Amino acid sequence: MLDDFLIRAALAGLGTALAAGLLGCFVVWRRMAYFGDATAHAAILGVAVSLGFQVSVLTGVALVALGMALAIHWLTGRNHAMDATLGVLAHGALALGLVAVALIPGARINLDAYLFGDVLTVTRADLAVIWGGATVVCAVLWLHWSALLTATLNPDLAYAAGIDPRREQLILTLLLAAVVAVSIKVVGALLITALLIIPAAAARPFARTPEGMAAMATGIGAFAALAGLRLSLWLDTPVGPSIVCVAAGVFALATIGGQLRTIGR
Amino acid sequence: MSLLSADRIDVRHGGQIALQGVSLSVEPGEILTIVGPNGSGKSTLLRALIGAVAPSRGTVRRANGLRIGYVPQKLHIDPTLPLTVRRFLDLPRRVTTPEAEEALANAGVSGVIGQQMASLSGGQFQRVLLARALLGNPQVLMLDEATQGLDQPGSAAFYRQIEEVRGRLGCAVLMVSHELHVVMSASDRVICLNHHICCEGTPEVVSAAPAYRELFGTGTGGALALYRHEHDHGHDHDHDHSHSHSHEAAE
């Protein structure tokens, strides 16, 4: 079954949507979109590092994304007005990565694959990484769900309940780096944040509880992955952007539907 | 043994001293109120006691496994986060629906369990925060300006609820306020704070203390008397009982 490249692509998309849909809810609730951007863009620098040091792309991307996520985590702990700094980090990392890739002698790689994803060339090993990563992300979120939610709501409520909100924030940071590393192959560094926030935002108008929103976000992400893949075959367009287009379409419909529901009440 | 204590703690905020040499302890079952002007370090003191800020000097001690019910000054719920009252009461630990309903009834806000947190009125919201703090059977209930945004009758009713809850659960209450006249009559002990402890004692002792009058002026004495007058006539026997109970403890 896994011999078919389309099946592999679909499975890769589903695995990524699962992890990104769940984690994306926290990214939306905590307003970490720029944080996600900076971490994802650092992945291009990770590609350059892996070419320069002759290590696997996955290792390079994971390490650099992790480093960037930890750096931001450390910075946000010291200063709350981070918007501009995060913008500088996000775009600086991307530009530096693009320059570094160009500077590496003899490197003839197709950067598009890392910027926009290349899910049709996913191998069995890639699939193992994606589903392994998605499983870890889901398991950690499951175990920490209540503590994460309390810390997200209000750090002082967490402290009073014996939960350290800084620790929970660090866990989210690490998970974000993991999602970046596993989804770069599917949607690419530029659109990872889209896969995190669009399904969650689309689920919001119809959700009554955090868990409901997470379940719907996962479903919308999965639908976007499959429909986007189908769309790209049909129109002969790149898969990653097609997936994001479908997700954005669902978001637009959900927003309009949510408005109509409010008016109808 | 006291539930919670601070021993000569200093807390700094970006170089500025928020608290200096503050010592206090909370004993089981008592209602202890911290009063002070805006920016006097009241919230910082509460946050230091729950471990949210680290003192630069001195130590904070909490009894082993101390259960704290915390009601924050303001709880902003991001509009992107859907949250029913029922689900909110499940944080951080899941409770059964009967437990949740009982806590809401104890906090004086029945019948909102299925609503979204964002749709509650200011008074209902504060009472739901109180209900959440009551779940998990706290040994000490900590309230940080819990009546902000409520009008005077609303906050008076809220503090009567606190007395009632203390009477029922036997937990200690540590609360912070700048609404002196409302809080004073419900307290066993009052600490007047302005970065350091200016004076402390029973409400009568503190309201007569020169340091207190210097901070708040003499006008509050009249308001206090006015409030007590209203208070004596304004509620039913049940409330009266718990009220006089707290007075015995204060005297």
- Full set of structural domains in chain A with CATH: 5-190 (1.10.3470.10)
Contact check, Cβ <8 Å, B81/A210: yes
Quick one: which of A108, A81, A104, A100 has its CA closest to A41?
A100
What does the pLDDT read at residue A79? 63
User: Residue A194: which residues within 8 A CB-CB, separation 6 or more?
Assistant: A187, A244, A247, A248
- C-alpha A11/C-alpha A137 separation (Å) is 17
Rg (CA), chain B: 18
* B positions 126-165 inside 8 Å of A (CB): 142
How many CB pairs lie under 8 A apart between chains A and B? Answer: 72
Determine contact: A207 vs chain B, CB below 8 A: yes
User: Residue A113: which residues within 8 A CB-CB, separation 6 or more?
Assistant: A121, A188
Q: The tokens of B93 are what?
A: 């630990």
Render pLDDT for A83-93 as a digit per residue (tens, 0 to 9).
788 888 888 98
Contact check, Cβ <8 Å, A153/B75: yes
What does the pLDDT read at residue B228? 41
Determine contact: A146 vs chain B, CB below 8 A: yes
Of residues A147, A149, A160, nearest to B142 (C-beta)? A160
Render pLDDT for B15-56 as a digit per residue (tens, 0 to 9).
788 999 999 999 998 999 998 888 889 989 999 999 999 999
What does the pLDDT read at residue A80? 61
What does the pLDDT read at residue A29? 95
At residue B115 the predicted structure's pLDDT band, cuts being 50, 70 and 90, is very high
What backbone phi and psi angles, to 5 degrees, belong to A205? -60, -20
Determine contact: B82 vs chain A, CB below 8 A: yes
DSSP chain A: -TTSHHHHHHHHHHHHHHHHHHHHHHHHHTT-HHHHHHHHHHHHHHHHHHHHTT--HHHHHHHHHHHHHHHHHHHHHH-S--HHHHHHHHHHHHHHHHHHHHHSTT----THHHHH--GGG--HHHHHHHHHHHHHHHHHHHHHHHHHHHHHH-HHHHHHTT--HHHHHHHHHHHHHHHHHHHHHHH-GGGHHHHHHHHHHHHGGG-SSHHHHHHHHHHHHHHHHHHHHHHHHHHT--HHHHHHHHHHHHHHHHHHHHHHHHHH-
- C-alpha B202/C-alpha B226 separation (Å) is 19
DSSP B28-92: TT-EEEEE--TTSSHHHHHHHHHTSS--SEEEEEE-TT--EEEE-S--PPPTTS--BHHHHHTSS
Rg (CA), chain A: 18
Determine contact: A167 vs chain B, CB below 8 A: no
Determine contact: B39 vs chain A, CB below 8 A: no
- Output the CA–CA distances (angstroms, integers) from residue B120 to A29, B113, B158, in the order listed: 20, 11, 16
Quick one: which of A20, A4, A3 has its CA closest to A244?
A20
Of residues B69, B72, B84, nearest to A156 (C-beta)? B72
What average pLDDT does the structure give for chain B?
81
Determine contact: B118 vs chain A, CB below 8 A: no
Tell me, what DSSP letter sits at residue B202?
Answer: S
What does the pLDDT read at residue B231? 38
- The interface predicted TM-score (ipTM) is 0.86
Of residues A30, A146, A209, nearest to B82 (C-beta)? A209
What backbone phi and psi angles, to 5 degrees, belong to A82? -110, -5
What does the pLDDT read at residue A28? 95
- Output the CA–CA distances (angstroms, integers) from residue B155 to A246, B142, B230, in the order listed: 50, 16, 13
What count of other Cβ atoms lies within 10 Å of the Cβ of residue A255? 14
Render pLDDT for B53-109 as a digit per residue (tens, 0 to 9).
999 999 999 998 899 999 988 899 999 999 999 999 998 889 999 999 999 998 888
What count of other Cβ atoms lies within 10 Å of the Cβ of residue B84? 19
Of residues B51, B72, B83, nearest to A209 (C-beta)? B83
Substitution target in B74, B81, B90, B175 with the highest count of A β-carbons within 10 Å is B81
In terms of CA atoms, which chain B residue is nearest residue A156? B52
Q: How many CA atoms lie within 13 A of B132 on its CB side?
A: 29
What does the pLDDT read at residue B233? 39
What does the pLDDT read at residue B217? 67
Q: The tokens of B177 are what?
A: 């306020």
Determine contact: B1 vs chain A, CB below 8 A: no
Contact check, Cβ <8 Å, B52/A28: no
> Chain centroid to CA B133: how far?
11
Of residues B68, B76, B81, nearest to A160 (C-beta)? B68
Q: Are strands B189-194 and B16-26 parallel, antiparallel or unpaired?
A: unpaired
What does the pLDDT read at residue A107? 65
Render pLDDT for B200-244 as a digit per residue (tens, 0 to 9).
888 888 878 888 877 776 554 444 433 443 333 333 444 333 333
Counting Cβ atoms within 10 Å, is residue A107 exposed (0-12), middle (13-18) or buried (19+)?
Answer: middle
Determine contact: A209 vs chain B, CB below 8 A: yes
* A positions 233-262 inside 8 Å of B (CB): none
Task: Give every residue of chain A whose pLDDT is below 70, as ranges.
Answer: 1-2, 78-81, 107-108, 265
Of residues A146, A159, A213, nearest to B82 (C-beta)? A213
